[in-house]
Structure 1
């Protein structure tokens, strides 16, 4: 029998690639999105698949979520397994400093979606979290582990922390539901996921690519003179979601880091993007400063690698080339 996956935020960065990988398997997807920061353009290659049912819907709209629940309940018996995957989130950095913009969707929406999964008798629930929960203590030799203590900035230092603490709270909801025997599941902390479909210059990679392709130069924050990061392609992040979903022993309510070990400085990131575009010496302008921004964010993915067969497969150079090639295709250049 086939499996059914119910995906919130399906046209977003994680949801659209999940749908693609699931359909390729021959399993079925029911997904929805409110198009807060995306469109059906990201799923145009699979939207007509017999394995996919998509509708425009908002995780905060009770009437629309009741419709979804009725859909899943009516079809549940057809499947060997039903898995809910929560990808709906307000994630763009510009919203991190506005508590109300993240709380309703990231916290309340996640909780209601989890409660629906429990009501319909879903087999498991995967909660997509974020490396932001590590806040300031986000690096050590060998990478930060899931059970390491957190060091969060306070509200006096940065409202940005509201996003991190909201996501952290969803991990507690997930763990509690599993420990009470209500459902199987886990949370995944993704580290700086990027995608070729992310065309809006909201995160650093699309910002750099957009700026370089337009002007041959890019403006970065002053923090970028010292900051380093790892970047995870969404093909790899989504493969990790399916890896834990396929591994019963991994659905223990705990957290899994999902990250690469390829750390680069922001300056090196600009160079990688410039090389993919064909620019030899990109001009970098430093302007502005972000409070409570960790200099490094390096996670240990040893836990998920040990419990599943997941490994990242796409290097930063390969991933950036995919982004640039897709941008040129879309823009006809």
Structure 2
């Protein structure tokens, strides 16, 4: 597959997995990251590859965006400041990166004449909508600054298609997890955080009573969705949003039980660790479950890993890397 791709956020969790996948497929890959939340260790094994170039740069700088996009056919835009709590603590920086940075990337893609930009949207866009499963065309009001920024991305992408003919596809990720997802820091996602705590014989902390549920999505499903979106020639896919998920929801109590079962293969004592419960977090959506019918129909998206299968893979990676 000899195609030229720019991957933003290339040293982050999802971006590094995409970079690795497409480099191994023989694509000409440029990775852009300012290393604010990404880690060079995630792509250290790619630096010496002749078909990979890394640019240490920030999407908030339009010249950097133009440089990174030059000569690229496709852009997989993953760069963003994630985390609902982070956006509540610092809405200004979240807005700068996720909206201004996104706008810079749209302008750079338009000016360079890229064939298509596939970008990371978010399930947080569904906001206070109580309908389950979540269907792309029905959203509620956003519940956090982060959710607002990701929704604005979708609006901007739509305007750039209608105004300038820039082809784009937004992928609304639902709680992605897997290898290289950072378990450290204030804003660590629950699966790597719980895994690290259990491995260290610490009691995992659940915000609330553990009945909140999520559609947890293994990283390899996300890679598949990006590839299918990027290469799709289906006219129905252009300027469209797709849910990327498993189409199953799991509450946090069950999630911890599954993690304990996977980790107990290495250390049976982990089964006896008790869970701690704390107050709910501001901005958290109670339940999240995706309809993936649209992605299946238009992109031929077929998730290969359910939660349990993905957890088995993720736990093995963390056990050998933490």
Task: Say which is worse superposed, 106-115 or 24-33, in terms of deviation.
Answer: 24-33
Among 122, 125, 129, which residue is 2:121 paired with?
129
> How far has the Cα of 1:291 moved from its partner?
2.9
- Aligned equivalent of 1:83: 74
- Aligned equivalent of 2:142: 152
- 1:19-98 to 2 correspondences below 5 Å: 19-69=19-69, 72-73=70-71, 82-97=73-88, 98=90
> How far has the Cα of 1:170 moved from its partner?
0.7
> How far has the Cα of 1:181 moved from its partner?
4.3
> How far has the Cα of 1:48 moved from its partner?
2.0
The 3-state SS of whatever aligns with 2:99 is: helix
Whether the 8 Å contact between 2:76 and 2:119 is mirrored in structure 1 is yes
- Aligned equivalent of 1:156: none
- Aligned equivalent of 1:158: none
Among 192, 196, 204, which residue is 1:206 paired with?
192
Among 277, 280, 284, which residue is 1:289 paired with?
280
Whether the 8 Å contact between 2:85 and 2:282 is mirrored in structure 1 is no
Report the aligned-residue RMSD. Answer: 1.8
Whether the 8 Å contact between 1:124 and 1:251 is mirrored in structure 2 is no
Whether the 8 Å contact between 1:186 and 1:250 is mirrored in structure 2 is no
> How far has the Cα of 1:323 moved from its partner?
2.2
The 3-state SS of whatever aligns with 2:275 is: strand
> How far has the Cα of 1:42 moved from its partner?
1.4
- 1:156-305 to 2 correspondences below 5 Å: 161-201=144-184, 202-222=188-208, 224-248=209-233, 249-278=235-264, 279-305=270-296
Whether the 8 Å contact between 2:31 and 2:55 is mirrored in structure 1 is yes
> How far has the Cα of 1:112 moved from its partner?
0.5
Query: Which runs of 5 or more structure 2 residues have no equivalent in the other structure?
Result: 265-269
Deviations 1:257-295 (A, max 9, x none): 111122111000001111111122330110122134222
Query: Which runs of 5 or more structure 1 residues have no equivalent in the other structure?
Result: 77-81, 154-160
Deviations 1:271-321 (A, max 9, x none): 111111112233011012213422210111111110122111112222222
> How far has the Cα of 1:216 moved from its partner?
4.3
Q: TM-score, normalised by structure 2?
A: 0.91
- Aligned equivalent of 2:107: 115
The 3-state SS of whatever aligns with 2:119 is: strand
How many residues end up aligned between the 2 structures? 312
Q: Using the alignment, how far apart are the partners of 1:40 and 1:50 within structure 2?
A: 17
Whether the 8 Å contact between 2:77 and 2:119 is mirrored in structure 1 is yes
Change (3 A) 1:2 1:225: closer
Deviations 1:229-259 (A, max 9, x none): 1101111112101101111225421211111
Q: TM-score, normalised by structure 1?
A: 0.88
